Structure 1
Amino acid sequence: MPTETPPADGALARLARFCYRRRRLVLLSWILGVLAVSVLGFGFGAAADNAYSGGESDSARAQVLIEQHFPQQQGDTLTLAVKADRGIDDPSVRQRIEKVLAELDAAAVTGPVVSPYADPALVTPDRRIARTTVPLTGLELPKAEVVPLVDAVKAASGDGLTLGLGGEAAEKAETPAQGPAEGVGLLAAAVILFIAFGSLVAMGLPIVTGLMAVVGGVALMKIVGHVVPAPDFTVLVAVLIGLGVGIDYALFILTRYKDGLRAGDDPERATVTAITTAGHAVLFAGTTVLIALLGLIAMGQRMMTGVAIGASVTVLVTMVAAVTLLPAFLGFTGHKINSLRLPRRTLRTSGAAGAPPRERRAPAERWAGVVQRRPLVAALLAGALLLVLAGPALSMRLSLPDASVQPHDRSSYTSYEILSEGFGPGYGAPLIFATRIGSPDADLGPVIAAVRATEGIASATPPRVSEDGRAATFMAFPRTGYQEEATTELVHELRDDVLPGVADGGEVYVGGPNAATIDFAEEVSSRLPLMIGVVIVLSLVLLIALVRSVTIALQGAVMNLLSIGAAYGVLVAVVQWGWLGPALGFPTAMPITTWVPMMMFPLLFGLSMDYEVFLISRIREEYERTGDTRRAVTLGLARTAKVITAAAAIMIAVFTTALLGPDVSVKQIGLGMAVAVLIDATIVRMVLVPAVMELCGKANWWMPGRRVPRAAPPAPAGIREDARV
């Protein structure tokens, strides 16, 4: 029998009917549109902008002062580190070292290179380790210009001589492309879809829809980058989130379409029903993801604003594709949606002789019954498990990755290791002090002496005065490394206790990459609660509008916070504590990359709301039909468990492929997202939701100023209960 009649004159119904009937026009428009946007975006899109604003921090003020008065210091530099077992003065070793120095000096992208043989300060007392700075001719040099320098240094190593080339440009040059990770994720998604649908045609539609949406969305994001610049990792984040939600949204709609066909609808009616039900939930879910992403703007960081706008553009395109492109595809497939399928046997339980076989209850329906019989125990156990998983998040430390956390076969790590051995671990974490002075003869001696006398400082350089005589800088090297907590404490001690007492009226700013990383992490930590609050409030308003229940909206928010907290905890245990870190591709224990938890929260909150919207909207349909909360939860869970499980598996597959890439920060966000989706689709949706809704009973549907919805009249005789959904 056909399903209940969806709104025939609603906007979504009209849109679905138009896309179905004018499918050739819609498909051609999408193809031409994606091609045009791709040519513009990938050919003329904005370049990535990786600069992050330091606000009013000490490091930001130091940087402004240096840019104003020391313009000659603005170029990037590399550091060549040399370690010779027989000493750098061995004739054969010296010949090889000088050959490398000559190659670096002669490169088109480098400035003059000072030989360590000409400056004793560049060599350790035992003459086994040396260093020198290799100035580059500009900022953000193309990767191809730096790779030959790294290759030359690597080729010269061996036979008792080890050389390493460090610096941000060298790290980028050595970092390989992301590789086939997204392809692996797509392959895994295809396998999951085929298992879920058992049909190659049904498997292909969500993938093709998601791919077209992501290509168009990323290209459009690059065009928007001319107005709102975004960092380079935005593309990867957009691809991960776009593929995940794009395939999932198509999966939700396609599942409802197949339900309609099974109930006896013709393809057009099934399409309209799917778009007005699952498509409606998709639009609400996608809007929640957009709101969550745009919450990043509350961080007040230009970099994060660029990420928010760029990723939101991709999600918006996937939403539009789900309710326009997919209906057009369904118009072409019609009843052939199940074509090219593997034969399956339907398991039935035999009844008495001559009686028709009885269909088994779905496993999810039986599971919901188990949870609902002991709802308090289930809720307490699930909540306790989530809190235990979230525990490590209390010790989370934020930083940005440097050479010390890179794979150990890279030249930048070799350089870090050699310099740490010869000149101390703080050599790669220098602090740059900057101050305004009244005249070129200003005495900075007391300031430098106080810094040198501070516990934790290994050495400090003499001051350098600007050409205009209005500013001076000097450097100090900590005894601890870039990623160590002691370095952060040292920076605070210098700012709070040491410098105020010796600055003599002038303000001395502590800057440099090390201090900037510390300031960025603290700014993120201070503004993160604001972003979380904005995302929760806006998402709650949207969810209340969809499910028309304050209680369920609050339940969703609390459960999402628990699952995200658990994901944070697992991330800290793996990355920061090192549990299973090497097995998952993390070379060493390291702090969490500063922008990762900031990105994870809005993404995960939005994705969790996806599952919440899809599940709760189906439960509400059942409740309005039956008036029985327990029955509604059981049926809603049973009829969405398969698709939510498949959607979650696709998300996990896509996010987990980030672990195959070379970037440790992207690995972190991939791991955190995969863990969060796994927790949300299992502990939260399968245990907490049915348990808490059972405990709340009719209070689930509380809404101020509104009566609890009544059940629909009973179905006419002969119409199956499940055919009315």
Structure 2
Amino acid sequence: MLDWLGDVVYRRARLVLVVAGIFVAAAGILAAGVFDTLKVGGYLDPEAESSIAAERIDAAFGGQYNLVFLVEAEGRSLDDPAVAAEGLRLTRELASEDGVGNVVSYWSTGSPALTSSDGSSAVVAAHVDGDEDAALRHTQRLHDAYADRDGVLSVRVGGEEGVNREIFQNLQHSLVVAEAVAVPVSLLLLVLAFGSVVAALLPLVIGILAIVGTFGELAVLGGITDMSVLAANLTTALGLGLGIDYALLMVARFRERLTAGDAVPEAVATTVRTAGRTILYSALIVAAALATMAVFPLYFLRSFAYAGVGVVFIAALASLFVVPALLSLLGGRVNALRLPWSKAVRGSDAPFWGRLADRVNRRPALAGAPVLLVLLVLASPLLHAEFGTVDDRVLRPSAESRSVNDALDAEFTGFDASALQVVLEGPVRQPALAGYARELSARPEVTHVESSAGTFAEGRLAGQQPTDAARGTPDTQWLTLSTDLPPKTDATADLVRAVRATPGPDGSAVLVGGADAELIDTRAALAAKLPLAVAIIVLITFVVLFLFTGSLLQPVRALILNGLSLAATFGVLVWAFQDGHLAGLLGFTPQPIDTANSILIFCVVFGLSMDYEVFLISRIKEMHDAGYDTATAVSRGLARTGRIVSVAAGLLAVVFFSFLTGTLSFLQLFGLGAGIAILIDAILVRGVLVPGAIAVLGRAAWWSPPALRRLHRRVRLAEE
């Protein structure tokens, strides 16, 4: 099939490029509205108890307060007639806005809980209706209309939806900055690697084509299913990185064949048959690793499964069709605009990598022991790793919504944005409700409980507010439980479990929501599906590497080494982000590693590691099948692929490291984790541990039972 494809692309090169141009134009038109279809969020399991509790509050009580306006009177008293009049006007205007409900303020209720401890500022709280997309649009409109108003009051916007608004804006800005860094740096590295400007431009063209195709794909997917806005950043990085990697492999093989004396038609055919085969099956492996995220209930992860599979195949198809078409038209001119050192890099052999493999083969234990020690040291911070969920700490402390939320935590003792939200389903008599609220408030870690029966503290009624009645309906009750425990800790998790275990009054069902309950539920949802995702990845690794090598031991070796690489990567992330050693340099707030992003990093990095595994092991097996002994096959295989893998890894690492220029800590987490993992894998694992492991295995490295050897001969994936 690939022989036929190479011949067709050579003879119809101009037609292929015209079709590619039409695809780019169509994708570009679709991409124009991509951010209108993407959503902020997707970190919660919609079937979890905390999510159901939030839905009940939305349906029965108009929703929790998810948008907060922090109002300051500019040195005047909050009860000053002019200030009070303006505060009431702000409250009424917000209440009249479409998509806004449950608007309360100090001036409309007189509640001291809505003022700061020093009396200098007050809160206007509201619920923004709609799903994440609609709420984001409403919040942006409200921010534009009410924030930084001139006059008596100064207004800043925070709360959950205020945070989502700033995350969305930061993601868009970070994408532009990251691409502005990644594209020119990638071009420079390609020129240095190829020694020819024309040859360097071809992978970059494919990378840009993959970016445009990615945005078009996201626009289509966003209209069909929920898609995280973060998919635009991360799948674009994959599109650029993989597009460059695959095109780099094609161009390098084509230049190798020209150097060997092939005419252009034969060089194109050989390139498609050999490098094209590797790209095809590499894409299958990476896509399969990304597809495993579809098993998780969080659409944040599912969106990467859907988008990631498409991105991989866009990059692969562009490399299999567009690159050979361009090479067919360029021919020997692919080496045009050569730099002075270009003759040294036109072939594919890299003597350095061959000599390194020889030294590792001679003393595998001596060469591998220091590398294993380094990886284990890097992995050691995992021993105290903590995993959490995304909150406002992903923003810089100077961000408007983050500063508002910090002020609420520090100055508003009666307004607890992180309180537990308790929903009772079923008819409940007021005396029974009061007894239940009194029982909860008597717990030593609980400061007070608000209910339709009043506010309770330390096991007794502490007061009643005019708004209490709105917390109850004939069939549903809503209680807010505030605590003095730090949020998202083991102690607050224990409190959530204790409240869930406390029987509801009059036999009512108890649902517990809030940020701490969401953390527990998210961890549980991800943990329940993680074994299945790992099993799928392990199975795919085993099958594909067996088909490549015919060995049962090579897949085991690959899994062990990939596991070491991943452990080292996550150890670095714990040291950098949880322990905060890079906080000053990158400007983030130290916090537990986000659980969902950890799974994303695991799937992406594992897929890319297998990508380079296929690049290397297919060449080693090719040499072994040609009659070379194992040591020579490893040396020659590494010499043939070492430069390609190292350059490809360097380019992909640059793409991911460009995310460090952003201002969102979870984006920086992904960029640093993916970039470091790729470098560790390409340099330490492929350069030292793979040759060392194969040398230790010796002839057994290619062992498999006779029946499986016959199967392998029938279904070969290695290059020919």
Cα distance in 2, alignment partners of residues 90 and 78 from structure 1: 22
- Structure 1 residue 399, shift from structure 2 partner: 2.5
Instruction: Name the CA shift for 1:653/1:550 in 2 (closer, same or farther; >3 Å).
Output: same
Instruction: Name the CA shift for 1:506/1:468 in 2 (closer, same or farther; >3 Å).
Output: closer
The answer for the alignment partner of 1:712 in structure 2 is none
**Which of 198, 201, 213 lines up with 2:210 in the alignment?**
213
Checking the alignment, whether the CA contact within 8 Å between 1:435 and 1:473 is kept in structure 2 is: yes
Cα distance in 1, alignment partners of residues 85 and 690 from structure 2: 71
Checking the alignment, whether the CA contact within 8 Å between 1:402 and 1:482 is kept in structure 2 is: no
1:495 aligned to 2:500?
Answer: yes
Instruction: Name the CA shift for 1:63/1:87 in 2 (closer, same or farther; >3 Å).
Output: same
**Which of 421, 443, 455 lines up with 2:444 in the alignment?**
455
1:28 aligned to 2:18?
Answer: yes
The answer for the alignment partner of 1:385 in structure 2 is 374
Q: Letter of the 1:374 partner, please give it.
A: R
- Structure 1 residue 239, shift from structure 2 partner: 0.4
- Structure 1 residue 430, shift from structure 2 partner: 1.8
**Which of 155, 170, 189 lines up with 2:162 in the alignment?**
170
Residue deviations 1:475-526 (CA, integer Å, cap 9, x gap): 1122234444433332223324xx14x6453321111344223311232134
The answer for the alignment partner of 1:351 in structure 2 is none
The answer for the alignment partner of 2:124 in structure 1 is 132
Cα distance in 2, alignment partners of residues 93 and 278 from structure 1: 72
1:418 aligned to 2:407?
Answer: yes
The answer for the alignment partner of 1:606 in structure 2 is 607
1:472 aligned to 2:461?
Answer: no
Cα distance in 2, alignment partners of residues 83 and 450 from structure 1: 39
Q: Letter of the 1:170 partner, please give it.
A: G
Cα distance in 2, alignment partners of residues 67 and 549 from structure 1: 57
Checking the alignment, whether the CA contact within 8 Å between 2:203 and 2:244 is kept in structure 1 is: yes
Instruction: Name the CA shift for 1:696/1:336 in 2 (closer, same or farther; >3 Å).
Output: same
**Which of 311, 315, 323 lines up with 2:312 in the alignment?**
315
The answer for the alignment partner of 2:522 in structure 1 is 520
Checking the alignment, whether the CA contact within 8 Å between 1:655 and 1:674 is kept in structure 2 is: yes
The answer for the alignment partner of 1:572 in structure 2 is 574
- The 5-angstrom pairing of residues 610-689 of structure 1 reads 610-689=611-690
- SS of residue in 2 equivalent to 1:275: helix
- Structure 1 residue 326, shift from structure 2 partner: 0.9
Checking the alignment, whether the CA contact within 8 Å between 2:159 and 2:405 is kept in structure 1 is: no
Checking the alignment, whether the CA contact within 8 Å between 2:605 and 2:677 is kept in structure 1 is: yes
Q: Letter of the 1:73 partner, please give it.
A: G
**Which of 49, 72, 80 lines up with 2:70 in the alignment?**
80
The answer for the alignment partner of 1:597 in structure 2 is 598
The answer for the alignment partner of 1:57 in structure 2 is 48
- Structure 1 residue 99, shift from structure 2 partner: 8.1
The answer for the alignment partner of 1:714 in structure 2 is none
- Structure 1 residue 645, shift from structure 2 partner: 1.0
Residue deviations 1:516-559 (CA, integer Å, cap 9, x gap): 23311232134223211211112221121122222112211211
Cα distance in 2, alignment partners of residues 433 and 302 from structure 1: 25
Instruction: Name the CA shift for 1:660/1:652 in 2 (closer, same or farther; >3 Å).
Output: same
Cα distance in 2, alignment partners of residues 494 and 81 from structure 1: 34
Q: Which runs of 5+ in 2 are unaligned?
A: 453-468, 711-718
- Structure 1 residue 57, shift from structure 2 partner: 3.2
Residue deviations 1:556-591 (CA, integer Å, cap 9, x gap): 1211111112111111111111011231242x1012
Cα distance in 2, alignment partners of residues 549 and 81 from structure 1: 68
Cα distance in 2, alignment partners of residues 17 and 230 from structure 1: 39
Cα distance in 2, alignment partners of residues 287 and 360 from structure 1: 27
Which deviates further from its counterpart, 181-190 or 362-371? 362-371
- SS of residue in 1 equivalent to 2:340: coil
- The 5-angstrom pairing of residues 119-518 of structure 1 reads 119-121=110-112, 122-124=114-116, 126-136=118-128, 138-139=130-131, 140-141=133-134, 146-147=139-140, 149-150=142-143, 155=148, 164-174=156-166, 175-176=169-170, 177=172, 178=174, 179-344=176-341, 362-424=351-413, 427-438=416-427, 441=430, 443-463=432-452, 469-496=474-501, 499-500=502-503, 503=505, 505-518=507-520
- Structure 1 residue 361, shift from structure 2 partner: 7.9
- Structure 1 residue 390, shift from structure 2 partner: 1.8
Instruction: Name the CA shift for 1:158/1:422 in 2 (closer, same or farther; >3 Å).
Output: farther
- SS of residue in 2 equivalent to 1:549: coil
Instruction: Name the CA shift for 1:153/1:489 in 2 (closer, same or farther; >3 Å).
Output: farther
The answer for the alignment partner of 1:546 in structure 2 is 548
Cα distance in 2, alignment partners of residues 191 and 507 from structure 1: 63
- Structure 1 residue 395, shift from structure 2 partner: 3.0
Instruction: Name the CA shift for 1:244/1:602 in 2 (closer, same or farther; >3 Å).
Output: same
Checking the alignment, whether the CA contact within 8 Å between 2:428 and 2:508 is kept in structure 1 is: no
- Structure 1 residue 681, shift from structure 2 partner: 1.1
- SS of residue in 2 equivalent to 1:460: strand
1:66 aligned to 2:71?
Answer: no
- Structure 1 residue 605, shift from structure 2 partner: 0.9
Checking the alignment, whether the CA contact within 8 Å between 1:619 and 1:635 is kept in structure 2 is: yes
- SS of residue in 1 equivalent to 2:507: coil
Cα distance in 2, alignment partners of residues 396 and 129 from structure 1: 38
Checking the alignment, whether the CA contact within 8 Å between 1:465 and 1:472 is kept in structure 2 is: no
- SS of residue in 1 equivalent to 2:339: coil
- SS of residue in 2 equivalent to 1:610: helix
Give the TM-score of the pair, scaled to structure 2: 0.87
Checking the alignment, whether the CA contact within 8 Å between 2:6 and 2:269 is kept in structure 1 is: yes
Alignment RMSD: 3.3
**Which of 582, 585, 594 lines up with 1:583 in the alignment?**
585
- The 5-angstrom pairing of residues 74-113 of structure 1 reads 76-80=66-70, 82=72, 88=78, 110=100, 113=103
- SS of residue in 1 equivalent to 2:653: helix
Checking the alignment, whether the CA contact within 8 Å between 1:426 and 1:478 is kept in structure 2 is: no
Instruction: Name the CA shift for 1:387/1:279 in 2 (closer, same or farther; >3 Å).
Output: same
Cα distance in 2, alignment partners of residues 373 and 46 from structure 1: 58
- Structure 1 residue 456, shift from structure 2 partner: 2.5
1:47 aligned to 2:3?
Answer: no
Cα distance in 2, alignment partners of residues 286 and 225 from structure 1: 23
Checking the alignment, whether the CA contact within 8 Å between 1:59 and 1:510 is kept in structure 2 is: yes
Instruction: Name the CA shift for 1:87/1:680 in 2 (closer, same or farther; >3 Å).
Output: farther
The answer for the alignment partner of 1:718 in structure 2 is none
Residue deviations 1:442-494 (CA, integer Å, cap 9, x gap): 62122212221223222221236777511111111222344444333322233
Q: Which runs of 5+ in 1 are unaligned?
A: 1-10, 349-358, 710-723
- Structure 1 residue 439, shift from structure 2 partner: 5.0
Cα distance in 1, alignment partners of residues 197 and 226 from structure 2: 40
- Structure 1 residue 40, shift from structure 2 partner: 4.3
Cα distance in 1, alignment partners of residues 191 and 73 from structure 2: 55
Cα distance in 2, alignment partners of residues 483 and 632 from structure 1: 53
Instruction: Name the CA shift for 1:112/1:471 in 2 (closer, same or farther; >3 Å).
Output: closer
Cα distance in 1, alignment partners of residues 75 and 488 from structure 2: 28
Cα distance in 2, alignment partners of residues 390 and 252 from structure 1: 32
Cα distance in 2, alignment partners of residues 229 and 421 from structure 1: 35
- Structure 1 residue 383, shift from structure 2 partner: 2.1
Q: Letter of the 2:624 partner, please give it.
A: Y
Instruction: Name the CA shift for 1:18/1:652 in 2 (closer, same or farther; >3 Å).
Output: same
Instruction: Name the CA shift for 1:301/1:58 in 2 (closer, same or farther; >3 Å).
Output: same
